Structure formats: C-alpha cells, structure tokens
Amino acid sequence: MDVLSLDADPAGRGLGTVGAMAILMKTALGAGLLNLPWAFGTSGGIRNALTVEMVSVVFLIGGLVMLGYAFTLSGKSTYQAVVRDVCGPHIGKFCEICYVLNLFMISISFLVVVADQLQKLCASLYILIYGLPESEMPYHWYTDQRFILFLVCLFIIFPLSFPKDIEFLKYTSVLGTLAASYLFVAVIVKYYIMEDRKSSIAPIYSSGVSSWASVFSVFPTICFAFQVHESTIAVFSNMENKKLSHLVFISVVSMFICLVFYSITGTYGYLTFGKDVAPDILMSYAGDDKVMIVARLLFGISIISTFPILVLLARTVIEQHELQHRGTEITKTYMAVTVVWNVFAYLIAIFVPDISKVFSATGGISAFFIFIFPGLCLIFSVQSEQMSPKLRVLLTVWAVITLLCGSFIFGQAMSISILQLIKKI
C-alpha cells in the first residue's frame, strides 16, 4: 500500500481511464509487496496462497464497486464524507476514527520497514569497509537499528512532518511504484541466477498446513497489500467519466494488474527461499547483494518521504473535528498531533519484532475500509433507492456477507496480535 497523491489537471479536465488506473495501482503497489513471499509460506504453499488471493480479490473488487455505487449517490469527494452522507453521522464519525487509527498503524508499519532496511544497509557498509561476511559483524550500540532509526526520525522524518505545505513531496510519490516495480523484476531475476536456491526450496504445492488458521491468517496481509479503498473516492471524484460502469471497469482492471504483480513476486520469492523466507523479503538477501541494496534504498527513501503525508492526512481530520466541535486553537492541535504521532509511532515500531506482525494488525483494521464500511454503504443505499424487491434482497445479502467477512478478518487479526503480545509479556 502506497499513499495516494492526486495532482490537479492544469487544463481543468478530470482524470481519464488510464490516469485513474495508474493512480489506483500506484496506491496499491508499495510496502505490502515485501511481505507477500512470507505469506505464501505461511499459507502452506503457492496453491493455497493463490487461492486466498483470488478469493480476496473478488471481495476487494466488490468493495470498490459498493463504494462506487455509494459515490454516485452521494457525490462527496472523500471516503469519510461518503460514509457519513450515506450511513449517517454516527457511522461517519466512527469511520473518521478508524481512518486516523489506520493511518497510525501504517505509519508504524513504515517505520518497521525502514528499520529493517537500515539494519541491512549497515551490514552492507560493514562488508564494503572490512571485507568480512555479514555473520562476523560485531554489535555496537551506534549500529543498532533502533538507534539509527531514532536518528532518521529525529533529523529527517520529524522535521518533514511539521510543514503544513508538503507540496515538494509529491515529486517523490512515484518512488513507491518504482521500488515495487524494481523489486518485482529483481526477485524474478535473482531466482534464476541464485545457484543455492534449491537447497532451501519447499514443494510448490505444499499441503502441510497444520490447520485452516494458517490459511486464514494470510487474509490480513492480503488486505494490507491491496489497501486502496480509502483513496478510491478521491480518484472517482476527480474522474472525467463518473458512470458506475466505468468505475467498475477501472476497479477490475487495476486490481487484476496488482494481483499479477503480487502473485508473481510472492511465488518467485517463495520459490527462492522456501519456508525460510523472512517476513521482509529484502531481509532474506545478503547484505552485499548490490541489486537488493538499490531496492532497500528505493523503499527507504519512498517510505521516509511518505510518512509526513500520513501525518498530514491524520492531522487534517483531527483539526477539522477540533475546530467544529470544540473550537480549539488549530496551532495547538497541529503541534500536539505532530509530536505525539511521531513519538508514539517510533516507540511502538522499535518493539515490533518483524513486519508480519504489524502488517497483519494493519490489515485487520483495513478490513473496515475494504469490507465493513462498503457493506454498510450498500445496505443503507438499497433501502433508499428504487429497485425491484428481488434485487434489493440480493444486494442486501451480498452486503451482509461482505460485513461478516470483514468482521472475521478484523477479529482474527486482532486476536492473533493480542495473543502474540501476551506471549511476549
């Protein structure tokens, strides 16, 4: 998942078909790519993982269609505004809370990814300077990834989070797509040129899954990877052709292309390392691998430049709430949100063992935006629109199924996260 960045058309025209699909794909393709090979191993093999992906994409596209339908009825320009207009102020307020929480979890996820890349880049420098293998690298407090992440946050991320005008960061928004595309090609190429890949390869169609829980545990990871729904309304509202059939076409094609990207990367990453693949695929490659050093730099720079955008989005929602309901001075809220957001995101990130844990929790929260809120929008919409009773029943049943799936994914992801936290304590 990357962060949406919409540039206004200087001619005043709306987005065309290709432009809308490009933005949706740019939003979907991002850090989630790093965790897919691990998810393939967790699910029990390629066949199980691809099955989970196929089932997930059906509901992902269904959620986009529901949002497109709600948008055509509402005409609002943001996800939260559409939910508030269609479902009422109470559900709309809950949507805003979930939106801010989701942004915070994504911020933590990004910091964990940055910490991983910093760890490997330190190993690369050690190999380059001393000519010794990564396994012989001694521990020093100044090479600890938590300390280096602290320096990056203090001198780069934290200062970038304060400006109200971050227009200059729009030029780095393409880095997420570039990093994902580069990793996509690199994983395939490395599979064919790595001589020792067969020593750790697992069966292509593994059936050694201890329980269905192993398969179901992949759903939150898939949700995190394909998390584009929050940005969809902004894309739809900027399109030239806002017909529902056109929105459906764009959603289907975009998700299919993302599915190809994720499936191929997950398959080749899993075939390269088998069940030994790390939760972050880049951590499985050697520190002196020059091809993957470039990938680490691309992902690191992309995420560092994206983090301030997350803070800005959350700050905007919180400031609007404070201004409307409490009349609090915006400057105080602005400063408080920025400082608290950065400090707590860092403190939580340094205690996360690997990205699979935080990606799973974030994917659970994203189930609200992919399944639950779209399902609620459809339920409320069909009650007020003129249609045949049979069609109303069919749409309501589909909405309820979507709600149940979203509730299951959220409950499972949160349960796993809580159990893992209790186990560590």
pLDDT, average across residues 80-98: 93
Domains and CATH numbers, the chain: 17-424 (1.20.1730.10)
Instruction: Label residue 206 by pLDDT band (50, 70, 90).
Output: very low
Provide the pLDDT for residue 96: 92
pLDDT, average across residues 5-11: 47
Question: How confident is the model over 372-402, as pLDDT tens digits?
Answer: 999 999 999 998 888 888 999 999 999 999 9
pLDDT score of 205 more than 90: no
Percent of the chain with pLDDT over 70: 87
Of 108-112, 171-175, 192-196, minimum mean pLDDT range: 171-175
Task: Share the mean pLDDT of the chain.
Answer: 84
pLDDT score of 140 more than 90: no
Provide the pLDDT for residue 19: 83
Q: How far is CA 196 from CA 88, 201, 242, 273, 285, in A?
A: 58, 9, 52, 9, 12
Instruction: Label residue 185 by pLDDT band (50, 70, 90).
Output: very high
Provide the pLDDT for residue 330: 62
- pTM for the whole thing? 0.86
Provide the pLDDT for residue 8: 44
Q: How far is CA 209 from CA 117, 205, 219, 270, in A?
A: 31, 11, 15, 16
> Is residue 150 exposed (0-12), middle (13-18) or buried (19+ Cβ within 10 Å)?
middle
Of 71-80, 163-172, 264-273, 348-357, minimum mean pLDDT range: 163-172
Provide the pLDDT for residue 266: 93
Provide the pLDDT for residue 202: 47
